Structure 1
Amino acid sequence: MTNKLRWGVLSTANIGIKKVLPAMQQGNFSTVTAIASRQLAKAQEAAKSLNIPKAYSSYEELLADPEIDAIYNPLPNDQHVPWTIKAAEAGKHVLCEKPLSMTLAEAKSLIAVRERTGVKIGEAFMVRSAPQWLRLRALLDEGRIGELRSVAGFFSYFNIQPDNIRNKVETGGGALMDIGCYLILAARYGFRQEPSRVVSLIDRDPIMKTDRLTSAILDFPSGQATFTCSTQLVPYQRVHFFGAKGRIEIEIPFNMPNDRPTRIFIDDGSDLTGAKIVTETFPACDQYTLQGDDFSRAVLEGGEVPMPLEESIANMAVIEAVFRSAASGRSESV
C-alpha cells in the first residue's frame, strides 16, 4: 500500500462527480484511481473530466481491481448496503454515502460483515470532519454555554421533480432520509447521548408519497431536541445549541461552502439585539477533502473512521422511530 489510499468509485452519481471526488483528489492521504458505471461511456467521461486513470463498465470489474484499497459508494440509498457488502467481501474498505441503509436491520447487518472481512466501513457524514463542528464539540466540552439542554435544527430545500432520486420513496427518498439524518446526527453529537423516545409529524407529497415536511421532538436524558426538515420549502439550514449560560449557532452547518470562510456564533444572551455575540470564523476549506483524508488515515494508520457503524446504527434507530411515531400518532421508543 502506498502513502495514499487508492480509491475506486461506484457510479457517476452527481454528489461524487461534482463534490466528493474533486475534493478527495486534493487530499494528502487519498487518491482516486478508478470509477465505474453500468454505461462505460459515462465512466470514461467522468474519468476524463476528473483525471481518474481507470474507467470500468461494471461495478464488479472495479471491485476485482487489486490496485484499489477502498470504495466510495454514492449509489441510490437502496443500493448502499448490497454494494457495501460486495465491496467488503472483495477486501475493500468502504465509505458509504448517507443514509447508510434503508432500515435499522440492514445497518446492523453490516457489523457481521465488518467482523468477517476485517475492512473498515464508515458512513459519509462529512460534518464529522468539518472544523466548525469540531470547534462546537470543544466549546460544549469546556462548558462555554453551561449544560446543553436544547438543540434546534432546520434543513430544507425545494425539489418537486418526480424523476429525481430524492423524490422516489421506493429507493429511500424524502426529507427525513436525505437531510433529516443530519439533524438527528447534530442532536446526538451535541448531547453525546441517545434519545429514549421521539414524537413526530410527517406531511407526505400526495403524488410522490415521500415525506416533504417532517418535524420531530427527541427526548434525551439531558434535554430535548427539535427539528424540521423539508424537500419543498425555501432552501435554509441552521442548528442552534442552547445551554443555561449561552447558545452556539452554526451558520451553514451542512452544505459548508468551500470557497469562503464559515462562521459560528456564541451568544451569552445578555443582549437580545445580538450586540454581545462572539463570532468565530474558520478559513475556507473543503469538508469532503477532510472527510476523505480522515477515512484514509484511519485505514493507513489503523485508527477509527469518522462515522463508524455503531454511530450509523444509532442514527438509523432514531430515523425509524420518527417514521413510527408519525404513523402511530404517539411517542415511540428508540
Structure 2
Amino acid sequence: MDKIRWGVLGAAKIAREKVIPAMQGKEGFEITAIASRSFDKSKTTAENLGIAKYYGSYEELIQDPDIDAIYNPLPNDLHVSYSLQCIQAGKHVLCEKPLALHADEVQTLIHARDKHGVKAGEAFMVASNPQWKKAKSIVQSGELGTLRAVQGFFSYYNRQRDNIRNIAENGGGGVWDIGCYPVFTSRYVLGEEPTRLAALLDVDPEFGTDRVGSVIMQYPSVQMTFTISTQLVPYQRMFFYGEKKALEVRIPFNAPIDQANELHLHHGDIVGHKVEIIQLPVSDQYTEQAVEFSRAIQQDLPVPVSLESAYQNTRILEAIFQAAKEERWINLT
C-alpha cells in the first residue's frame, strides 16, 4: 500500500486544529475525506482544510471503498460504537482517548479487530512524542538511580455549560478527559501496571462531572500520585524521582510544535541546585502519531498504542471512580 488514505469522523476541534493540519502534506498518507452529521459543516470544514471529499453522515465515510483508515475524534460516548463500525467495514481505526468508558467494551473491539484483520489503536499521541521516548529511555536506563516515586499534575479551566467536557452523559469530567494522561504516561515509562489505587473526586454540583481529582497508585516498583482538574489554572508537569536524580517533563501533554521540548534532570541539593536541560528536536506529536500508525498499516507493525493497552488504561480509570465512590483502595490485579 503506497499511500494510506485517511478519513475523519466529525469536525471536532482537536481534528480541525491539531490532527488534520499535522497530517497534511506528508509522505505515506493523506487526509482524503471528512464526515459530519451536518452536510454543511462537513463541506465548510473540508473547504477550509483543503480536503477533497465530505459527507453528511459518518456511515457514508465508513463505507467509502477509497478510505483505508479512519481517525475517530467523536465524543467519548461514541468512540466504541463508531470504531466498531469502522473495524467491521474493514477499515483501520485510530480512536481518540479515552477509547472507551467501560473496559469490557474494549474487549469487544479487540475481538472485532482480530476477526477482521485490521489495525486499531488509541490516540495517545504522547507515545509517539520524542520527549516521552527519551523520558522512558532515561528512567529505564537507571540514570536516576532506583526509582521510588512519580508525580503528575494536569489542569485547565473550563466552565462552559455546553462544552462536551462538562456533559456527564457524554463521558465528560476530568478523569476521562485528562486523568487518562498521567495514568498512561506512568504505565508507558515504567513498563509496569499498577496493582491498587485510591482516589478523591470533587464533583461539580451543576454539571455532575468531576472537576478536581487526586489519585494514589501503587506500582510494583514505585508509588505514583497525581492531581487533575477542569477548573483550575492551566498547568501540567510530570516528575520521576530516583535516589540520584529527578526527571521533570516540562510540558508533558500539550507539547508545543514551534519550539523544542525540554526535559529537566535535577541533580539534587536544595541549595545550589543543578539542573541539566535536555532539548528535543522541534516536532509535532500528532504528525509522529500519524507516521507511526500509517507505517504500522503499511509494514504490518504494532500500532503505537494497542487496544490491549487501552483496555488496561480504561480498567484503571473505572477503578478511580469506584475508589472515590466507595472510599477505599481498589485492587487492580
Give me the TM-score of the superposition, normalised by structure 2.
0.98
| Structure 1 residue 283, shift from structure 2 partner | 2.3
For residues 212-231 of structure 1, the aligned pairs below 5 Å read: 212-231=211-230
Equivalent residue number for residue 88 of structure 2: 89
Residue 187 of structure 2 aligns with an amino acid whose one-letter code is: R
Q: Structure 1 stretch 78-87 or stretch 39-48: which is displaced more?
A: 39-48
Q: Structure 1 stretch 137-146 or stretch 163-172: which is displaced more?
A: 137-146
Contact 1:153 1:227 in 2 (8 A): yes
Equivalent residue number for residue 311 of structure 1: 309
Q: Structure 1 stretch 127-136 or stretch 144-153: which is displaced more?
A: 144-153
| Structure 1 residue 63, shift from structure 2 partner | 1.1
> Which 5+ residue runs of structure 2 have no aligned equivalent?
none
Contact 2:266 2:273 in 1 (8 A): no
Equivalent residue number for residue 171 of structure 1: 170
* Rounded Cα–Cα distance in structure 1 between residues aligned with 2:195 and 2:252: 25
For residues 291-310 of structure 1, the aligned pairs below 5 Å read: 291-310=289-308
Residue 142 of structure 1 aligns with an amino acid whose one-letter code is: S
Equivalent residue number for residue 157 of structure 1: 156
* Rounded Cα–Cα distance in structure 1 between residues aligned with 2:122 and 2:271: 40
Equivalent residue number for residue 240 of structure 2: 241
| Structure 1 residue 275, shift from structure 2 partner | 3.9
Pair 26,290 (structure 1): closer, same or farther in 2 beyond 3 Å? farther
Equivalent residue number for residue 77 of structure 2: 78
| Structure 1 residue 147, shift from structure 2 partner | 2.2
Equivalent residue number for residue 6 of structure 1: 5
Contact 1:96 1:122 in 2 (8 A): yes
* Rounded Cα–Cα distance in structure 2 between residues aligned with 1:274 and 1:167: 44
Q: Percent identity?
A: 49
Equivalent residue number for residue 145 of structure 2: 146
| Structure 1 residue 267, shift from structure 2 partner | 1.4
| Structure 1 residue 204, shift from structure 2 partner | 0.1
Residue 293 of structure 1 aligns with an amino acid whose one-letter code is: V
Residue 238 of structure 2 aligns with an amino acid whose one-letter code is: V
- Deviations along 1:256-283, one digit per CA (max 9) or x if unpaired, are 01111110001121x3246421101122
Equivalent residue number for residue 265 of structure 2: 266
Equivalent residue number for residue 31 of structure 1: 30
Q: Structure 1 stretch 20-29 or stretch 54-63: which is displaced more?
A: 20-29
| Structure 1 residue 141, shift from structure 2 partner | 2.1
| Structure 1 residue 120, shift from structure 2 partner | 0.8
- Deviations along 1:277-322, one digit per CA (max 9) or x if unpaired, are 1101122211100001110000001100000011111111110111
For residues 52-71 of structure 1, the aligned pairs below 5 Å read: 52-71=51-70
* Rounded Cα–Cα distance in structure 2 between residues aligned with 1:273 and 1:126: 37
Equivalent residue number for residue 322 of structure 2: 324
- Deviations along 1:11-46, one digit per CA (max 9) or x if unpaired, are 011110011000011433220000001111111111
1:283 to 263, 281, 284: 281
| Structure 1 residue 237, shift from structure 2 partner | 0.2
Residue 16 of structure 2 aligns with an amino acid whose one-letter code is: I
Equivalent residue number for residue 192 of structure 2: 193
| Structure 1 residue 247, shift from structure 2 partner | 0.8
Contact 1:148 1:191 in 2 (8 A): no
| Structure 1 residue 65, shift from structure 2 partner | 1.1
| Structure 1 residue 185, shift from structure 2 partner | 0.7
| Structure 1 residue 193, shift from structure 2 partner | 0.9
Equivalent residue number for residue 132 of structure 1: 131
Other structure's SS at 1:304 match: coil
Contact 2:262 2:278 in 1 (8 A): yes
Q: Structure 1 stretch 20-29 or stretch 195-204: which is displaced more?
A: 20-29
Equivalent residue number for residue 207 of structure 2: 208
Pair 166,274 (structure 1): closer, same or farther in 2 beyond 3 Å? farther
Q: Structure 1 stretch 30-39 or stretch 139-148: which is displaced more?
A: 139-148
Other structure's SS at 2:90 match: coil
Other structure's SS at 1:8 match: strand
* Rounded Cα–Cα distance in structure 1 between residues aligned with 2:141 and 2:168: 42
CA RMSD of aligned residues (A): 1.0
- Deviations along 1:217-268, one digit per CA (max 9) or x if unpaired, are 0011101100000000000000000111111000000000111111000112
